[in-house]
Structures are given as C-alpha cells and as structure tokens.
Amino acid sequence: MFMADPAQGVLQRSVENDAIQKTGRRRWRPQWTARMALIPAMTITIVCFYGFIIWTFVISLTRSRLLPVYKFTGFDQYVRLFANERWWTSMQNLAIHGFLFIGGCMVFGYLLAILIDRRVKAEGMYRTIFMLPLSMSFIVTGVIWQWVMNPGLGLQEAVRALGWDSFEFNWIVRPDRAIYTLAIAGIWQQVGLCMALFLAGLRNIDPNIWKASRVDGIPVWRVYLHIITPMLRTVFFTVFILMSAIVMKAFDLVVALTGGGPGYSSDLPARFVVDHILNRQELGLGAAGAFVLLCTVIAVISPYIYFELKKERGGRGH
C-alpha cells in the first residue's frame, strides 16, 4: 500500500495556510484603506457638526451676550425664548412657509416632470428654462421678486398701467400676506430641481408598464396616479428631505425679499437666531433658539424617515 509522506503533508498544509493568510491580508487591506480614507471626513463631521451642536446647547445654558460666558443659569434662556412673542410668530411662519414651499415644489415639480416626460418638442429648451432660476442665489431671487411684488414698481403697477385700475397685488406690504410671498419666490427658484429629480425617476420606469397599460386601455392619468407615483416613493422622499432642509435654514431669502416685515410678520426662526446673536448681542438666547429649531427639525423629519426606511427594508425583504 502507498503511504503518504508526512513531510509532504506538512508542506501542503503550510502552503494552504500561507494562501489563507495572504487572502485574509488582501481582504483586510482594502477594508482598512477605505476606513483610513474616511477618517478626515469623519473627524471634520464630528468636530464641525456634532461638536458645535453640543457647544450651542452648552451656550444656551449660560447668560452669554456679546461673547461666550460660561456662567450657567440652567434653562433661563429657554424660558425667555418661549415667552418671546416674536419667536412664536417665526415658528408659525415656519409651519406656513414649510407647508406651502415643500408642497408647492413637489406638486409643481412633479407636474412639470410629467409634461416633459411625454416627449414634448424642444424638451431641452423647457428643461433649461425651468432650471435657470436654480442658478441664482436666494439673495438674487429675493431682490427679483421684491421688484415684481413692489406695489409701486412691479406687477401691480404694470397691470394698472394697462387700464385695470382696481388690480391689487400688494402682498409684500401686508402683514397677513407677506409670508406667502416667501413661498412664491422659493417655489419659483427650487421647482426646477424637483422637476429634474422627478424626471430622472420617470425616465427609469420600465417601458413595458406603458405598453401593458395601453393594451389594457388604462387612461394615462390613472397610470401616473396609481402605478407610477407609488413607484417613485423614494424620489418623493429625497425631494421632501432636500426641500425641508432648505426651509429650516431659510435666512437669505427673508432678508432680501421682506426683511422679516412688515414688523416681524414674515420672520423665520433662522433670522430670529442670527438677529439675536449678531445684532442684539444675545448669544445665549440665540443659541437656545438654534437648539430648539434643531429639535423641531428632528421631531418633524424623523418619523417620515423611519417609515420610509421601514418600507424600503420591507420591500427588500420580500
């Protein structure tokens, strides 16, 4: 009977072990290379984002005014904040502006994307026209719409010059309507971005869906409403998050368009915070407002993110 050489068996096992170790090293190196490459970005994020969140909360517990003063007074700044009528006006305006701006961008953006998705002539020209306002900053957008809405210079004066003397469009000087002008200007600028995102989603829809709907005789509007729209849930989620971020940090549009007025009728929390920190030397009160705004953002967005991620995981599970 043939007997295997023990030395040969040991040599074979040694070669196999070396191969396993080399494979492990090859797998280990790319993983740690990627992790090492992420360290600078992770460090910047931790320091500049989470670090400043903690610092803001700490400052909100002090009596800081022009400069940080680490003499803690508990939640006195929050008591002052919640007793401030201007703060509650800005929060109410945030709710109105957020609902109109996000809803308007999503609705008009989706409708424009549907119209362009029907393969209209000069599609490139239409996309350029709708995307052009996005190239402007909110400061420029605010100045443009300030001219348009100025009762003595803009749309109202132009229409009256044509003979319609009773026409009125003076929302920018009316305390009960000024907040709506922010939504109009914001939608005009951002609707092109929403259109582009929705159009990209529509162009990824399987063409066989449209072929099947034509065979079955399903109307186009019903296909969009009951089939295509649910399939674009992820796109709607993305647009909602992007537009929500723009609403929460809205500052420059308010300054350029209405200045927060008349009075404080169109004020928003971001302007309240900046005004108290830079102009009124109320660093502690401004920090309290910033931290409450952050908590508001988390409270509003978190449930939506949770349910969307849950649906996405459930879909992958099936």
Average pLDDT, integer, range 9-36: 58
Residue indicated by tokens 């939504």:
183
What tokens appear for 209 in the block? 């869906």
- pLDDT over threshold 60, residue 5: no
- pLDDT over threshold 80, residue 15: no
**Exposure of 144 in the CB half-sphere (CA atoms within 13 A):** 12
pLDDT band (50, 70, 90) for residue 25: low
Residue 2: what pLDDT?
42
Which of 5-9, 86-90, 116-120, 123-127 tops mean pLDDT?
86-90
**Phi first, then psi: what are they for 152, rounded to 5°?**
-95, -10
Residue 10: what pLDDT?
47
Radius of gyration of the chain (CA): 28
- pLDDT over threshold 80, residue 276: yes
Residue 16: what pLDDT?
55
**Phi first, then psi: what are they for 62, rounded to 5°?**
-115, 175
**Phi first, then psi: what are they for 173, rounded to 5°?**
-105, 5
Q: What crossing angle do the helices spanning 178-203 and 85-117 adopt, rounded to 10°? A: 40
pLDDT digits (tens, 9 = 90+) for 188-197: 999 999 999 9
Rounded to whole angstroms, how far apart are CA atoms 17 and 26?
Answer: 14
Residue indicated by tokens 């701006």:
101
CB distance 76 to 62 below 8 Å: no
Share of the chain above pLDDT 70, in %: 87
Rounded to whole angstroms, how far apart are CA atoms 274 and 148?
Answer: 27
Average pLDDT, integer, range 168-178: 88
- pLDDT over threshold 50, residue 3: no
Average pLDDT, integer, range 172-192: 92
pTM for this entry: 0.80
Rounded to whole angstroms, how far apart are CA atoms 312 and 318?
Answer: 10
- pLDDT over threshold 50, residue 80: yes
Q: What integer best gives the mean pLDDT of the chain?
A: 83
